[in-house]
Structure 1
Protein backbone atom coordinates (compact mmCIF):
# COMPACT_ATOMS: atom_id res chain seq x y z
CA UNK A 1 0.00 0.00 0.00
CA UNK A 2 1.33 3.43 -0.99
CA UNK A 3 -1.03 5.54 1.11
CA UNK A 4 0.86 5.05 4.38
CA UNK A 5 4.22 6.33 3.14
CA UNK A 6 2.68 9.08 1.03
CA UNK A 7 0.72 10.34 4.01
CA UNK A 8 3.84 10.68 6.14
CA UNK A 9 6.02 12.21 3.41
CA UNK A 10 3.42 14.82 2.49
CA UNK A 11 2.64 15.52 6.14
CA UNK A 12 6.30 16.39 6.76
CA UNK A 13 6.30 18.85 3.86
CA UNK A 14 3.01 20.52 4.76
CA UNK A 15 3.01 24.29 5.29
CA UNK A 16 0.74 26.18 7.65
CA UNK A 17 -1.57 28.90 6.35
CA UNK A 18 -1.49 30.51 9.79
CA UNK A 19 2.22 30.25 10.58
CA UNK A 20 4.13 30.06 7.29
CA UNK A 21 2.37 32.61 5.08
CA UNK A 22 3.95 36.03 5.88
CA UNK A 23 0.65 37.94 6.00
CA UNK A 24 2.23 40.92 7.79
CA UNK A 25 4.55 41.54 4.83
CA UNK A 26 1.69 42.57 2.55
CA UNK A 27 2.41 45.69 0.49
CA UNK A 28 -0.70 47.08 -1.21
CA UNK A 29 1.40 49.28 -3.48
CA UNK A 30 2.85 46.16 -5.13
CA UNK A 31 -0.46 44.49 -6.01
CA UNK A 32 -1.98 45.58 -9.32
CA UNK A 33 -5.62 45.22 -10.32
CA UNK A 34 -4.86 42.67 -13.02
CA UNK A 35 -2.75 40.62 -10.64
CA UNK A 36 -5.51 40.57 -8.03
CA UNK A 37 -8.08 39.41 -10.58
CA UNK A 38 -5.92 36.45 -11.64
CA UNK A 39 -5.75 35.36 -8.01
CA UNK A 40 -9.54 35.13 -7.98
CA UNK A 41 -9.63 32.99 -11.11
CA UNK A 42 -6.92 30.67 -9.85
CA UNK A 43 -8.80 30.28 -6.57
CA UNK A 44 -11.91 29.18 -8.46
CA UNK A 45 -9.88 26.85 -10.67
CA UNK A 46 -8.30 25.19 -7.62
CA UNK A 47 -11.81 24.59 -6.27
CA UNK A 48 -12.22 22.15 -9.17
CA UNK A 49 -10.46 19.55 -7.01
CA UNK A 50 -13.96 18.92 -5.62
CA UNK A 51 -15.54 17.47 -8.81
CA UNK A 52 -12.21 15.86 -9.73
CA UNK A 53 -12.13 14.00 -6.41
CA UNK A 54 -15.70 12.86 -6.92
CA UNK A 55 -14.62 11.52 -10.31
CA UNK A 56 -11.56 9.74 -8.91
CA UNK A 57 -13.53 8.07 -6.13
CA UNK A 58 -16.27 6.96 -8.55
CA UNK A 59 -13.85 5.53 -11.13
CA UNK A 60 -11.49 3.89 -8.60
CA UNK A 61 -13.97 2.06 -6.40
CA UNK A 62 -11.85 -1.06 -6.84
CA UNK A 63 -8.72 0.69 -5.52
CA UNK A 64 -8.93 1.61 -1.84
CA UNK A 65 -5.26 2.57 -1.67
CA UNK A 66 -5.55 5.26 -4.35
CA UNK A 67 -8.93 6.36 -3.03
CA UNK A 68 -7.38 6.88 0.40
CA UNK A 69 -4.64 9.00 -1.17
CA UNK A 70 -7.41 11.21 -2.53
CA UNK A 71 -8.00 12.35 1.06
CA UNK A 72 -4.56 13.99 1.03
CA UNK A 73 -4.76 15.34 -2.50
CA UNK A 74 -8.24 16.75 -2.00
CA UNK A 75 -7.28 18.41 1.28
CA UNK A 76 -4.18 20.08 -0.15
CA UNK A 77 -5.85 21.20 -3.36
CA UNK A 78 -8.80 22.71 -1.48
CA UNK A 79 -6.25 24.37 0.78
CA UNK A 80 -4.80 26.02 -2.34
CA UNK A 81 -8.20 27.49 -3.14
CA UNK A 82 -8.63 28.54 0.47
CA UNK A 83 -5.28 30.32 0.83
CA UNK A 84 -5.89 32.30 -2.37
CA UNK A 85 -9.34 33.24 -1.13
CA UNK A 86 -7.92 34.16 2.28
CA UNK A 87 -5.47 36.48 0.54
CA UNK A 88 -8.34 38.17 -1.25
CA UNK A 89 -10.50 38.22 1.87
CA UNK A 90 -7.77 40.08 3.74
CA UNK A 91 -6.56 42.43 1.03
CA UNK A 92 -9.12 42.55 -1.82
CA UNK A 93 -12.44 41.37 -0.36
CA UNK A 94 -14.31 42.78 -3.36
CA UNK A 95 -12.69 40.09 -5.53
CA UNK A 96 -13.25 37.09 -3.26
CA UNK A 97 -15.15 34.38 -5.20
CA UNK A 98 -18.78 33.94 -4.30
CA UNK A 99 -20.25 30.59 -3.34
CA UNK A 100 -22.22 30.67 -6.59
CA UNK A 101 -19.04 31.15 -8.64
CA UNK A 102 -17.39 28.25 -6.83
CA UNK A 103 -20.39 25.96 -7.16
CA UNK A 104 -20.58 26.65 -10.91
CA UNK A 105 -17.54 24.46 -11.50
CA UNK A 106 -18.93 21.51 -9.58
CA UNK A 107 -20.47 19.26 -12.21
CA UNK A 108 -20.22 15.60 -13.03
CA UNK A 109 -17.41 14.35 -15.26
CA UNK A 110 -18.20 11.51 -17.66
CA UNK A 111 -16.66 8.16 -16.68
CA UNK A 112 -13.26 7.66 -18.29
CA UNK A 113 -10.55 4.95 -18.29
CA UNK A 114 -8.82 5.29 -14.95
CA UNK A 115 -5.29 4.71 -16.26
CA UNK A 116 -5.60 7.48 -18.84
CA UNK A 117 -7.08 9.78 -16.18
CA UNK A 118 -4.20 9.03 -13.81
CA UNK A 119 -1.66 9.96 -16.49
CA UNK A 120 -3.62 13.05 -17.45
CA UNK A 121 -3.53 14.35 -13.90
CA UNK A 122 0.15 13.50 -13.49
CA UNK A 123 0.87 15.69 -16.52
CA UNK A 124 -1.43 18.35 -15.10
CA UNK A 125 0.62 18.49 -11.90
CA UNK A 126 3.87 18.79 -13.87
CA UNK A 127 2.39 21.67 -15.84
CA UNK A 128 0.86 23.42 -12.85
CA UNK A 129 4.19 23.28 -11.03
CA UNK A 130 5.70 25.37 -13.81
CA UNK A 131 2.69 27.71 -14.14
CA UNK A 132 2.85 28.59 -10.47
CA UNK A 133 6.61 29.13 -10.59
CA UNK A 134 6.08 31.66 -13.33
CA UNK A 135 3.19 33.23 -11.40
CA UNK A 136 5.49 33.69 -8.40
CA UNK A 137 8.01 35.43 -10.64
CA UNK A 138 5.39 37.64 -12.31
CA UNK A 139 3.75 38.89 -9.13
CA UNK A 140 5.37 41.82 -7.37
CA UNK A 141 3.58 41.67 -4.01
CA UNK A 142 5.67 39.54 -1.57
CA UNK A 143 2.89 37.62 0.20
CA UNK A 144 1.29 36.27 -2.97
CA UNK A 145 4.75 35.46 -4.36
CA UNK A 146 5.32 33.25 -1.32
CA UNK A 147 1.90 31.64 -1.63
CA UNK A 148 2.51 30.69 -5.26
CA UNK A 149 5.86 29.21 -4.24
CA UNK A 150 4.08 27.02 -1.70
CA UNK A 151 1.52 25.96 -4.31
CA UNK A 152 4.15 25.13 -6.90
CA UNK A 153 6.02 22.89 -4.47
CA UNK A 154 2.80 21.13 -3.50
CA UNK A 155 1.94 20.42 -7.13
CA UNK A 156 5.40 18.96 -7.71
CA UNK A 157 4.92 16.62 -4.73
CA UNK A 158 1.50 15.61 -6.02
CA UNK A 159 3.04 14.75 -9.37
CA UNK A 160 5.54 12.54 -7.57
CA UNK A 161 2.72 10.76 -5.74
CA UNK A 162 0.82 10.13 -8.98
CA UNK A 163 4.02 8.74 -10.47
CA UNK A 164 4.22 6.16 -7.69
CA UNK A 165 0.71 4.99 -8.54
CA UNK A 166 1.70 4.86 -12.20
CA UNK A 167 4.64 2.60 -11.34
CA UNK A 168 2.31 0.34 -9.38
CA UNK A 169 -0.14 0.29 -12.31
CA UNK A 170 2.63 -0.90 -14.64
CA UNK A 171 3.28 -3.82 -12.30
CA UNK A 172 -0.44 -4.60 -12.09
CA UNK A 173 -1.69 -3.99 -15.62
CA UNK A 174 1.50 -4.26 -17.68
CA UNK A 175 1.11 -3.39 -21.35
CA UNK A 176 -2.35 -1.83 -20.91
CA UNK A 177 -0.94 0.69 -18.45
CA UNK A 178 2.08 1.37 -20.65
CA UNK A 179 -0.16 2.05 -23.65
CA UNK A 180 -2.39 4.38 -21.65
CA UNK A 181 0.50 6.36 -20.20
CA UNK A 182 2.35 6.65 -23.51
CA UNK A 183 -0.80 7.74 -25.36
CA UNK A 184 -1.67 10.50 -22.88
CA UNK A 185 1.99 11.46 -22.57
CA UNK A 186 2.21 12.13 -26.31
CA UNK A 187 -1.00 14.16 -26.17
CA UNK A 188 -0.02 16.28 -23.16
CA UNK A 189 3.52 16.91 -24.36
CA UNK A 190 2.42 17.96 -27.87
CA UNK A 191 1.76 21.56 -26.94
CA UNK A 192 2.90 22.84 -30.34
CA UNK A 193 -0.09 21.18 -32.00
CA UNK A 194 -2.83 22.92 -30.04
CA UNK A 195 -3.92 26.48 -29.45
CA UNK A 196 -5.09 25.95 -25.88
CA UNK A 197 -3.42 25.11 -22.60
CA UNK A 198 -3.13 21.37 -22.09
CA UNK A 199 -4.38 20.94 -18.55
CA UNK A 200 -7.26 18.88 -17.07
CA UNK A 201 -9.22 22.04 -16.22
CA UNK A 202 -9.26 23.02 -19.90
CA UNK A 203 -10.40 19.70 -21.35
CA UNK A 204 -13.96 18.62 -22.16
CA UNK A 205 -15.35 16.12 -19.65
CA UNK A 206 -19.15 15.94 -20.10
CA UNK A 207 -20.74 15.38 -23.52
CA UNK A 208 -24.20 16.51 -22.45
CA UNK A 209 -22.91 19.87 -21.22
CA UNK A 210 -20.66 20.57 -24.23
CA UNK A 211 -19.26 23.15 -24.80
CA UNK A 212 -19.78 24.30 -21.20
CA UNK A 213 -18.06 21.17 -19.93
CA UNK A 214 -14.59 22.39 -19.04
CA UNK A 215 -13.71 23.96 -15.72
CA UNK A 216 -12.39 27.07 -17.47
CA UNK A 217 -15.57 27.49 -19.54
CA UNK A 218 -17.57 27.89 -16.33
CA UNK A 219 -15.46 30.64 -14.79
CA UNK A 220 -16.73 34.25 -14.79
CA UNK A 221 -14.23 34.98 -17.57
CA UNK A 222 -13.60 31.78 -19.55
CA UNK A 223 -10.80 33.26 -21.66
CA UNK A 224 -8.69 34.39 -18.71
CA UNK A 225 -6.37 31.36 -18.69
CA UNK A 226 -4.89 31.95 -22.13
CA UNK A 227 -4.46 35.65 -21.36
CA UNK A 228 -2.79 34.83 -18.03
CA UNK A 229 -0.37 32.43 -19.71
CA UNK A 230 0.41 34.35 -22.90
CA UNK A 231 0.29 37.98 -21.82
CA UNK A 232 0.68 38.16 -18.05
CA UNK A 233 2.99 35.44 -16.70
CA UNK A 234 4.37 34.98 -20.25
CA UNK A 235 4.54 31.21 -20.24
CA UNK A 236 6.72 31.08 -23.35
CA UNK A 237 8.51 28.30 -25.23
CA UNK A 238 11.36 27.86 -22.71
CA UNK A 239 8.72 27.49 -19.99
CA UNK A 240 6.76 25.00 -22.07
CA UNK A 241 9.96 23.10 -22.81
CA UNK A 242 10.40 22.57 -19.06
CA UNK A 243 6.93 21.01 -18.89
CA UNK A 244 7.60 18.72 -21.84
CA UNK A 245 11.03 17.86 -20.47
CA UNK A 246 9.52 16.96 -17.10
CA UNK A 247 7.00 14.63 -18.72
CA UNK A 248 9.64 12.96 -20.90
CA UNK A 249 12.14 12.53 -18.05
CA UNK A 250 9.60 10.92 -15.79
CA UNK A 251 8.32 8.59 -18.51
CA UNK A 252 11.90 7.68 -19.40
CA UNK A 253 12.40 6.60 -15.81
CA UNK A 254 9.03 4.86 -15.63
CA UNK A 255 9.55 2.84 -18.81
CA UNK A 256 13.33 2.47 -18.45
CA UNK A 257 13.70 4.02 -21.89
CA UNK A 258 15.27 7.23 -23.18
CA UNK A 259 12.81 9.79 -24.54
CA UNK A 260 14.57 12.94 -25.69
CA UNK A 261 11.64 14.19 -27.75
CA UNK A 262 7.91 13.67 -28.07
CA UNK A 263 8.67 11.82 -31.31
CA UNK A 264 10.72 9.30 -29.32
CA UNK A 265 7.79 8.75 -26.99
CA UNK A 266 5.39 8.42 -29.92
CA UNK A 267 7.60 5.78 -31.53
CA UNK A 268 7.55 3.88 -28.25
CA UNK A 269 3.75 4.21 -28.14
CA UNK A 270 3.48 2.75 -31.64
CA UNK A 271 5.81 -0.11 -30.77
CA UNK A 272 3.47 -1.10 -27.92
CA UNK A 273 0.55 -1.20 -30.35
CA UNK A 274 2.37 -3.53 -32.74
CA UNK A 275 4.14 -5.72 -30.18
Structure 2
Protein backbone atom coordinates (compact mmCIF):
# COMPACT_ATOMS: atom_id res chain seq x y z
CA UNK A 1 0.00 0.00 0.00
CA UNK A 2 1.13 3.53 -0.81
CA UNK A 3 -1.30 5.39 1.43
CA UNK A 4 0.57 4.99 4.78
CA UNK A 5 3.83 6.30 3.32
CA UNK A 6 2.18 9.14 1.41
CA UNK A 7 0.21 10.17 4.48
CA UNK A 8 3.42 10.36 6.51
CA UNK A 9 5.25 12.34 3.81
CA UNK A 10 2.47 14.88 3.30
CA UNK A 11 1.80 15.19 7.02
CA UNK A 12 5.45 16.13 7.60
CA UNK A 13 5.24 19.19 5.33
CA UNK A 14 1.67 20.27 6.04
CA UNK A 15 1.34 24.01 6.60
CA UNK A 16 -0.70 25.74 9.27
CA UNK A 17 -3.19 28.35 8.09
CA UNK A 18 -2.84 30.45 11.24
CA UNK A 19 0.93 30.45 11.65
CA UNK A 20 2.43 29.78 8.19
CA UNK A 21 0.56 32.48 6.24
CA UNK A 22 1.97 36.00 6.88
CA UNK A 23 -1.41 37.64 7.52
CA UNK A 24 0.21 40.63 9.26
CA UNK A 25 2.05 41.60 6.06
CA UNK A 26 -1.12 42.59 4.19
CA UNK A 27 -0.82 45.70 2.03
CA UNK A 28 -4.23 46.97 0.91
CA UNK A 29 -2.68 49.28 -1.68
CA UNK A 30 -1.43 46.24 -3.62
CA UNK A 31 -4.81 44.52 -4.06
CA UNK A 32 -7.18 45.60 -6.84
CA UNK A 33 -10.84 44.73 -7.32
CA UNK A 34 -10.03 42.57 -10.34
CA UNK A 35 -7.42 40.66 -8.35
CA UNK A 36 -9.88 40.05 -5.53
CA UNK A 37 -12.41 38.69 -8.03
CA UNK A 38 -9.92 36.19 -9.43
CA UNK A 39 -9.08 35.06 -5.90
CA UNK A 40 -12.79 34.43 -5.38
CA UNK A 41 -13.01 32.40 -8.59
CA UNK A 42 -9.98 30.35 -7.61
CA UNK A 43 -11.54 29.68 -4.20
CA UNK A 44 -14.69 28.36 -5.89
CA UNK A 45 -12.68 26.31 -8.38
CA UNK A 46 -10.71 24.68 -5.56
CA UNK A 47 -14.02 23.79 -3.90
CA UNK A 48 -14.57 21.46 -6.87
CA UNK A 49 -12.29 18.95 -5.13
CA UNK A 50 -15.55 17.87 -3.49
CA UNK A 51 -17.25 16.45 -6.62
CA UNK A 52 -13.87 15.23 -7.89
CA UNK A 53 -13.40 13.20 -4.70
CA UNK A 54 -16.89 11.76 -5.04
CA UNK A 55 -15.95 10.73 -8.59
CA UNK A 56 -12.67 9.16 -7.51
CA UNK A 57 -14.32 7.16 -4.73
CA UNK A 58 -17.09 5.94 -7.05
CA UNK A 59 -14.78 4.95 -9.90
CA UNK A 60 -12.13 3.35 -7.65
CA UNK A 61 -14.31 1.20 -5.43
CA UNK A 62 -11.98 -1.74 -6.09
CA UNK A 63 -8.92 0.24 -4.93
CA UNK A 64 -9.03 0.94 -1.20
CA UNK A 65 -5.42 2.11 -1.12
CA UNK A 66 -6.02 4.95 -3.59
CA UNK A 67 -9.41 5.71 -2.05
CA UNK A 68 -7.75 6.12 1.35
CA UNK A 69 -5.24 8.54 -0.18
CA UNK A 70 -8.21 10.62 -1.30
CA UNK A 71 -8.73 11.53 2.37
CA UNK A 72 -5.43 13.42 2.28
CA UNK A 73 -5.88 14.91 -1.18
CA UNK A 74 -9.44 16.04 -0.43
CA UNK A 75 -8.44 17.62 2.88
CA UNK A 76 -5.57 19.58 1.35
CA UNK A 77 -7.53 20.72 -1.72
CA UNK A 78 -10.47 21.93 0.38
CA UNK A 79 -7.93 23.71 2.57
CA UNK A 80 -6.80 25.58 -0.56
CA UNK A 81 -10.32 26.86 -1.05
CA UNK A 82 -10.56 27.72 2.63
CA UNK A 83 -7.34 29.75 2.79
CA UNK A 84 -8.37 31.80 -0.25
CA UNK A 85 -11.75 32.44 1.35
CA UNK A 86 -10.05 33.35 4.63
CA UNK A 87 -7.94 35.89 2.74
CA UNK A 88 -11.10 37.45 1.33
CA UNK A 89 -12.90 37.26 4.68
CA UNK A 90 -10.11 39.25 6.31
CA UNK A 91 -9.37 41.76 3.57
CA UNK A 92 -12.27 41.80 1.06
CA UNK A 93 -15.33 40.40 2.83
CA UNK A 94 -17.57 41.63 0.01
CA UNK A 95 -15.89 39.07 -2.27
CA UNK A 96 -16.27 35.96 -0.10
CA UNK A 97 -18.11 33.23 -2.09
CA UNK A 98 -21.59 32.39 -0.85
CA UNK A 99 -22.52 28.84 0.07
CA UNK A 100 -24.78 28.77 -2.97
CA UNK A 101 -21.90 29.77 -5.26
CA UNK A 102 -19.74 27.01 -3.80
CA UNK A 103 -22.51 24.42 -4.05
CA UNK A 104 -23.06 25.28 -7.72
CA UNK A 105 -19.83 23.47 -8.66
CA UNK A 106 -20.90 20.28 -6.90
CA UNK A 107 -22.51 18.03 -9.48
CA UNK A 108 -22.10 14.44 -10.65
CA UNK A 109 -19.35 13.58 -13.10
CA UNK A 110 -20.08 10.85 -15.63
CA UNK A 111 -18.18 7.61 -15.00
CA UNK A 112 -14.86 7.50 -16.83
CA UNK A 113 -11.94 5.04 -17.12
CA UNK A 114 -10.02 5.20 -13.85
CA UNK A 115 -6.57 5.08 -15.46
CA UNK A 116 -7.31 7.96 -17.83
CA UNK A 117 -8.80 10.00 -14.99
CA UNK A 118 -5.69 9.40 -12.88
CA UNK A 119 -3.45 10.69 -15.66
CA UNK A 120 -5.77 13.63 -16.30
CA UNK A 121 -5.49 14.77 -12.70
CA UNK A 122 -1.75 14.16 -12.61
CA UNK A 123 -1.40 16.58 -15.54
CA UNK A 124 -3.88 18.91 -13.85
CA UNK A 125 -1.65 19.13 -10.79
CA UNK A 126 1.36 19.98 -12.96
CA UNK A 127 -0.58 22.69 -14.76
CA UNK A 128 -2.01 24.16 -11.55
CA UNK A 129 1.42 24.21 -9.95
CA UNK A 130 2.61 26.38 -12.85
CA UNK A 131 -0.52 28.57 -12.83
CA UNK A 132 -0.10 29.29 -9.13
CA UNK A 133 3.62 29.93 -9.44
CA UNK A 134 2.87 32.47 -12.17
CA UNK A 135 0.06 33.98 -10.07
CA UNK A 136 2.49 34.41 -7.17
CA UNK A 137 4.85 36.30 -9.47
CA UNK A 138 2.07 38.49 -10.85
CA UNK A 139 0.60 39.55 -7.49
CA UNK A 140 2.41 42.24 -5.57
CA UNK A 141 0.35 41.99 -2.37
CA UNK A 142 2.59 39.99 0.05
CA UNK A 143 -0.04 37.77 1.69
CA UNK A 144 -1.67 36.47 -1.48
CA UNK A 145 1.79 35.97 -3.02
CA UNK A 146 2.68 33.72 -0.08
CA UNK A 147 -0.63 31.86 -0.36
CA UNK A 148 -0.19 31.08 -4.07
CA UNK A 149 3.41 29.96 -3.45
CA UNK A 150 2.13 27.64 -0.70
CA UNK A 151 -0.62 26.20 -2.89
CA UNK A 152 1.81 25.66 -5.77
CA UNK A 153 4.03 23.50 -3.56
CA UNK A 154 1.03 21.44 -2.47
CA UNK A 155 -0.01 20.84 -6.09
CA UNK A 156 3.50 19.65 -6.95
CA UNK A 157 3.42 17.17 -4.06
CA UNK A 158 -0.01 15.93 -5.15
CA UNK A 159 1.35 15.36 -8.64
CA UNK A 160 4.16 13.30 -7.13
CA UNK A 161 1.65 11.18 -5.21
CA UNK A 162 -0.43 10.56 -8.34
CA UNK A 163 2.78 9.54 -10.13
CA UNK A 164 3.36 6.87 -7.48
CA UNK A 165 -0.10 5.44 -8.16
CA UNK A 166 0.56 5.56 -11.89
CA UNK A 167 3.75 3.51 -11.44
CA UNK A 168 1.79 0.99 -9.41
CA UNK A 169 -0.91 0.86 -12.11
CA UNK A 170 1.70 0.06 -14.75
CA UNK A 171 2.95 -2.85 -12.67
CA UNK A 172 -0.61 -4.14 -12.39
CA UNK A 173 -2.09 -3.35 -15.82
CA UNK A 174 0.98 -3.13 -18.07
CA UNK A 175 0.31 -1.92 -21.61
CA UNK A 176 -3.28 -0.95 -20.78
CA UNK A 177 -2.01 1.60 -18.26
CA UNK A 178 0.73 2.82 -20.61
CA UNK A 179 -1.80 3.35 -23.39
CA UNK A 180 -4.19 5.24 -21.11
CA UNK A 181 -1.47 7.48 -19.69
CA UNK A 182 0.01 8.23 -23.12
CA UNK A 183 -3.42 9.02 -24.58
CA UNK A 184 -4.23 11.60 -21.93
CA UNK A 185 -0.66 12.87 -21.86
CA UNK A 186 -0.86 13.77 -25.55
CA UNK A 187 -4.11 15.63 -24.94
CA UNK A 188 -2.91 17.55 -21.89
CA UNK A 189 0.42 18.48 -23.48
CA UNK A 190 -1.30 19.90 -26.58
CA UNK A 191 -2.88 22.97 -25.00
CA UNK A 192 -1.34 25.32 -27.56
CA UNK A 193 -3.51 23.68 -30.21
CA UNK A 194 -6.78 24.15 -28.33
CA UNK A 195 -9.01 27.17 -27.78
CA UNK A 196 -9.44 26.50 -24.07
CA UNK A 197 -7.19 25.97 -21.07
CA UNK A 198 -6.65 22.24 -20.58
CA UNK A 199 -7.33 21.48 -16.94
CA UNK A 200 -9.81 19.03 -15.34
CA UNK A 201 -11.99 21.92 -14.17
CA UNK A 202 -12.34 23.13 -17.75
CA UNK A 203 -13.37 19.83 -19.36
CA UNK A 204 -16.91 18.53 -19.97
CA UNK A 205 -17.84 15.80 -17.49
CA UNK A 206 -21.64 15.36 -17.57
CA UNK A 207 -23.40 14.90 -20.91
CA UNK A 208 -26.86 15.57 -19.48
CA UNK A 209 -25.78 18.99 -18.19
CA UNK A 210 -23.97 20.09 -21.35
CA UNK A 211 -22.87 22.82 -21.90
CA UNK A 212 -22.91 23.69 -18.19
CA UNK A 213 -20.99 20.56 -17.28
CA UNK A 214 -17.56 22.02 -16.58
CA UNK A 215 -16.52 23.51 -13.26
CA UNK A 216 -15.54 26.76 -14.96
CA UNK A 217 -18.95 27.08 -16.63
CA UNK A 218 -20.62 27.07 -13.20
CA UNK A 219 -18.61 29.76 -11.40
CA UNK A 220 -20.18 33.25 -11.18
CA UNK A 221 -18.06 34.52 -14.08
CA UNK A 222 -17.46 31.67 -16.56
CA UNK A 223 -15.13 33.87 -18.63
CA UNK A 224 -12.74 34.62 -15.79
CA UNK A 225 -10.26 31.79 -16.39
CA UNK A 226 -9.18 32.92 -19.86
CA UNK A 227 -9.00 36.52 -18.63
CA UNK A 228 -6.88 35.45 -15.65
CA UNK A 229 -4.50 33.40 -17.79
CA UNK A 230 -4.20 35.69 -20.80
CA UNK A 231 -4.56 39.21 -19.43
CA UNK A 232 -3.63 39.00 -15.76
CA UNK A 233 -1.03 36.38 -14.88
CA UNK A 234 -0.07 36.26 -18.60
CA UNK A 235 0.44 32.52 -18.81
CA UNK A 236 2.19 32.77 -22.16
CA UNK A 237 3.95 30.33 -24.49
CA UNK A 238 7.04 30.29 -22.29
CA UNK A 239 5.04 29.08 -19.30
CA UNK A 240 2.98 26.69 -21.39
CA UNK A 241 6.21 25.17 -22.66
CA UNK A 242 7.27 24.56 -19.05
CA UNK A 243 4.07 22.59 -18.46
CA UNK A 244 4.58 20.50 -21.60
CA UNK A 245 8.21 19.82 -20.74
CA UNK A 246 7.23 18.69 -17.25
CA UNK A 247 4.59 16.31 -18.58
CA UNK A 248 7.03 14.86 -21.13
CA UNK A 249 9.78 14.56 -18.51
CA UNK A 250 7.53 12.59 -16.18
CA UNK A 251 6.24 10.40 -19.00
CA UNK A 252 9.85 9.67 -19.96
CA UNK A 253 10.64 8.59 -16.40
CA UNK A 254 7.44 6.59 -16.13
CA UNK A 255 7.80 4.72 -19.43
CA UNK A 256 11.62 4.49 -19.23
CA UNK A 257 12.11 5.96 -22.69
CA UNK A 258 12.73 9.52 -23.82
CA UNK A 259 9.96 11.76 -25.16
CA UNK A 260 11.39 15.04 -26.43
CA UNK A 261 8.11 16.17 -27.99
CA UNK A 262 4.38 15.58 -27.95
CA UNK A 263 4.77 13.94 -31.35
CA UNK A 264 7.10 11.32 -29.88
CA UNK A 265 4.64 10.65 -27.06
CA UNK A 266 1.86 10.33 -29.63
CA UNK A 267 3.87 7.75 -31.57
CA UNK A 268 4.29 5.80 -28.35
CA UNK A 269 0.53 6.07 -27.76
CA UNK A 270 -0.13 4.54 -31.17
CA UNK A 271 2.40 1.80 -30.48
CA UNK A 272 0.68 0.89 -27.21
CA UNK A 273 -2.78 1.02 -28.82
CA UNK A 274 -1.63 -1.33 -31.58
CA UNK A 275 -0.07 -3.69 -29.07
CA UNK A 276 -3.30 -3.89 -27.09
CA UNK A 277 -5.41 -4.36 -30.20
CA UNK A 278 -3.23 -7.21 -31.53
CA UNK A 279 -4.90 -10.54 -30.69
CA UNK A 280 -2.86 -13.07 -28.79
CA UNK A 281 -2.22 -16.23 -30.80
CA UNK A 282 -3.17 -19.18 -28.56
CA UNK A 283 -1.35 -21.62 -30.84
CA UNK A 284 2.00 -22.64 -29.32
CA UNK A 285 5.03 -21.99 -31.45
CA UNK A 286 6.43 -24.96 -33.32
CA UNK A 287 9.45 -26.56 -31.69
1:184 has 2:191 as partner = no
* 1:166 alignment counterpart: 166
* 1:157 alignment counterpart: 157
**Following TM superposition, by how much is the alpha carbon of 1:191 offset from its aligned partner in structure 2, in angstroms?**
1.1
* 1:120 alignment counterpart: 120
1:223 has 2:223 as partner = yes
* 2:130 alignment counterpart: 130
1:265 has 2:265 as partner = yes
Give deviations 1:103-122, integer Å, cap 9, x for gaps: 00000000000000000000
- Secondary structure in structure 2 of the residue aligned to 1:4: helix
* 1:175 alignment counterpart: 175
* 2:282 alignment counterpart: none
- Secondary structure in structure 1 of the residue aligned to 2:167: helix
Distance in 1, Cα, partners of 2:271 & 2:78: 40
**Following TM superposition, by how much is the alpha carbon of 1:207 offset from its aligned partner in structure 2, in angstroms?**
0.3
The alignment of Structure 1 onto Structure 2 pairs a total of residues equal to 275
Listed as ranges, the gaps of 5+ residues in structure 1 are none
Distance in 2, Cα, partners of 1:73 & 1:192: 29
Give deviations 1:57-98, integer Å, cap 9, x for gaps: 000000000000000000000000000000000000000000
Give deviations 1:201-230, integer Å, cap 9, x for gaps: 000000000000000000000010001000
TM-score by length of 2: 0.95
* 1:19 alignment counterpart: 19
- Written as runs of structure 1 = structure 2, the 5 A alignment for 1:202-217 is 202-217=202-217
Distance in 1, Cα, partners of 2:123 & 2:13: 21
Distance in 2, Cα, partners of 1:36 & 1:90: 12
Distance in 2, Cα, partners of 1:202 & 1:192: 15
Distance in 2, Cα, partners of 1:81 & 1:188: 24
Distance in 2, Cα, partners of 1:15 & 1:246: 25
* 2:235 alignment counterpart: 235
> What root-mean-square deviation, in Å, do the aligned CA atoms of Structure 1 and Structure 2 show?
0.5
Listed as ranges, the gaps of 5+ residues in structure 2 are 276-287
* 1:41 alignment counterpart: 41
**Following TM superposition, by how much is the alpha carbon of 1:192 offset from its aligned partner in structure 2, in angstroms?**
1.9
**Following TM superposition, by how much is the alpha carbon of 1:149 offset from its aligned partner in structure 2, in angstroms?**
0.3
Distance in 1, Cα, partners of 2:180 & 2:240: 23
* 1:251 alignment counterpart: 251
**Following TM superposition, by how much is the alpha carbon of 1:274 offset from its aligned partner in structure 2, in angstroms?**
2.2
- Written as runs of structure 1 = structure 2, the 5 A alignment for 1:48-67 is 48-67=48-67
Mark the structure with the bigger radius of gyration.
Answer: 2
Distance in 2, Cα, partners of 1:269 & 1:207: 26
Distance in 1, Cα, partners of 2:201 & 2:36: 21
4+ aligned runs moved over 4 Å, structure 1: none
* 1:100 alignment counterpart: 100
Give deviations 1:22-62, integer Å, cap 9, x for gaps: 10110101111111110000000000000000000000000
